[in-house]
Amino acid sequence: MGEDGNGMHKARPIVIAVGLVAATCGIAFGQGAQDRSPATTGTLPPATSQPAPPWSGESGASGHPLMTADAIRTAATHFHTCIDKLWQAAARRGISRSVFHNYTASLTPDLRIMDLLDNQPEFTKSFWDYLDILVTNDRIEQGRALLEKYRGAFDSVERAFGVDRHILAAIWGVETNYGTLIGERSVLRSTATLACIGRRQDYFREEFLSTLEILQRGDVRPDRLVGSWAGAFGPTQFMPTAFKKYAVDFDRDGHRDVVDSVPDVLASTANNLKKDGWATGNTWGYEVVVPTTFNFLLADHSRPMSLREWERQGIRRANGQPFPRPDEQAFLLVPAGVQGPGFLMLNNFSVIMKYNPAEAYALAIGHLADRLRGGGPFVQDWPRYERVLSRTERLELQQLLARHGYDVGEPDGLLGLRTRTAIRDFQAKNGRIPDGFASAGVLDQLRAR
């Protein structure tokens, strides 16, 4: 659950990671990505031991009119007027005058968040770098220990919701390294800041009001309601609106505590996946071998086929086993092109993508779950020799493609589905295997034309 330009699933504490994944892996921040933000999935150590740096005072990289330095300063001046205007909406949600007053009277905006909201790093990591960071031996061992320690809770939650315990543990591990990287920003202050300043105010007004509802109800202790800059909190990073939809008081103490109660955390996360369509007893997908002669234009989210049909196209499981249920529908993901592994993704992968709409993170969650269950690493190697293009190079790639008549939309340095399709078309017309992978070789070939 993370954040990016559009989709905020749960915004992770680690901001750096967000934009990177988006840029490198071509994440589509779509409709389903409303409550969590891929942008911030917690993976790297948060800078919590040092005082947070102040706002840079600079205009945001998005170029949005509400993100200029002047617009941010002006909005900050009117912060309290803006918050006070939300009182009527809060009252309609059953928030009392005293709760509203007590929690908002001394609030100040956290302008540093404006830098994070528009963070567009120049250099990005590759798909395999993210998997290396998120699925480590240490994380596998810790996850197995937690599965053992909370076996009773996992048993009950699995029974009640039909969601595989290893997936729940993997979400816990990928989102916050099992609750150790939760972030330390006040959810109330973050969502209030974003509700009144910057380019996502409509979205965050809802998150801010939902935060007040949580405080009014007393589900989570105010001092424990801390998290990422975008307001995601707890070991599995619930945004306040997602909390309202999915949180469950599984240990029946009267509080839906997705921060400090392991049964509530696991049950709420399972409830979220179940409501998003998790198919009980199924896995998320399979690593597959894609022949070099394959028609890579079929590798597309929007072109699902049955596993049987994929087999007819020459695709095989990497471990040599047959597909257990060949009639299941799957789409093909080839994140690193013909030189890397392919994956046939089942419905449950799409459910994980709703939880965290970044392909690399969703794959990390599925893979970590398999490893926790005792499975091995991926069979095929990643093309680790491939250099990842910088943001400047990605922009140049898009501009060159556009100049040669390929449709990439508005060049933005983010390699989404449209850019991948354009690369595939270019490759197909230029005697290369059309795998859509934005390699340095493709850029060189475009430059030479």
- The binding site for Ca ion (CB under 5 A) comprises 249, 251, 253, 255, 257, 261, 264
Query: Minimum distance between the CB of residue 257 and Ca ion, rounded to whole angstroms?
Result: 5
Burial of 72 (0-12, 13-18, 19+ CB in 10 A): buried
Q: Collapsing DSSP states into helix, strand and coil, what is residue 4?
A: coil
**Which residues have a Cβ under 8 Å from the Cβ of 365 and sit 6 or more positions away?**
167, 170, 171, 174, 284, 352, 355, 356
Name which of 144 and 217 has its Cβ closer to Ca ion. 217
**Which residues have a Cβ under 8 Å from the Cβ of 300 and sit 6 or more positions away?**
331, 332, 417, 421
Name which of 159 and 252 has its Cβ closer to Ca ion. 252
Which of 60, 63, 12 is closest to 35 using CA atoms?
12
Q: Collapsing DSSP states into helix, strand and coil, what is residue 184?
A: coil
Tokens standing for 363?
Answer: 């794959």
Query: Minimum distance between the CB of residue 252 and Ca ion, rounded to whole angstroms?
Result: 6
Query: Minimum distance between the CB of residue 253 and Ca ion, rounded to whole angstroms?
Result: 4
User: CB–CB of 335/353 below 8 Å?
Assistant: no
Name which of 220 and 364 has its Cβ closer to Ca ion. 220
| Separation between Cα atoms, residue 130 and residue 108, nearest integer Å | 35
Name which of 21 and 267 has its Cβ closer to Ca ion. 267
Name which of 172 and 343 has its Cβ closer to Ca ion. 172
Name which of 260 and 300 has its Cβ closer to Ca ion. 260
Q: Collapsing DSSP states into helix, strand and coil, what is residue 272?
A: helix
User: CB–CB of 227/182 below 8 Å?
Assistant: yes
CA 36 to chain centre: 6
| Separation between Cα atoms, residue 11 and residue 256, nearest integer Å | 20
Q: Which DSSP state fits 47?
A: S
| Separation between Cα atoms, residue 82 and residue 196, nearest integer Å | 6
Per the document, the length of the chain is 449
Query: Minimum distance between the CB of residue 171 and Ca ion, rounded to whole angstroms?
Result: 19
Alpha-helical runs (H) found in 383-439: 391-403, 417-429
Query: Minimum distance between the CB of residue 219 and Ca ion, rounded to whole angstroms?
Result: 8
Query: Minimum distance between the CB of residue 263 and Ca ion, rounded to whole angstroms?
Result: 7
Name which of 253 and 407 has its Cβ closer to Ca ion. 253
User: CB–CB of 39/361 below 8 Å?
Assistant: no
Query: Minimum distance between the CB of residue 321 and Ca ion, rounded to whole angstroms?
Result: 41
Burial of 162 (0-12, 13-18, 19+ CB in 10 A): middle
CA angle 341, 345, 238 (to 5 degrees): 110
Query: Minimum distance between the CB of residue 251 and Ca ion, rounded to whole angstroms?
Result: 4
Name which of 173 and 263 has its Cβ closer to Ca ion. 263
Query: Minimum distance between the CB of residue 165 and Ca ion, rounded to whole angstroms?
Result: 19
User: CB–CB of 97/91 below 8 Å?
Assistant: yes
Alpha-helical runs (H) found in 15-164: 16-25, 69-77, 79-85, 87-92, 97-104, 112-117, 127-134, 137-149, 151-161
| Separation between Cα atoms, residue 199 and residue 436, nearest integer Å | 32
Name which of 129 and 251 has its Cβ closer to Ca ion. 251
Query: Minimum distance between the CB of residue 386 and Ca ion, rounded to whole angstroms?
Result: 47
Name which of 103 and 250 has its Cβ closer to Ca ion. 250
Query: Minimum distance between the CB of residue 255 and Ca ion, rounded to whole angstroms?
Result: 5
Place of tokens 């949600």: 93
Name which of 6 and 156 has its Cβ closer to Ca ion. 156
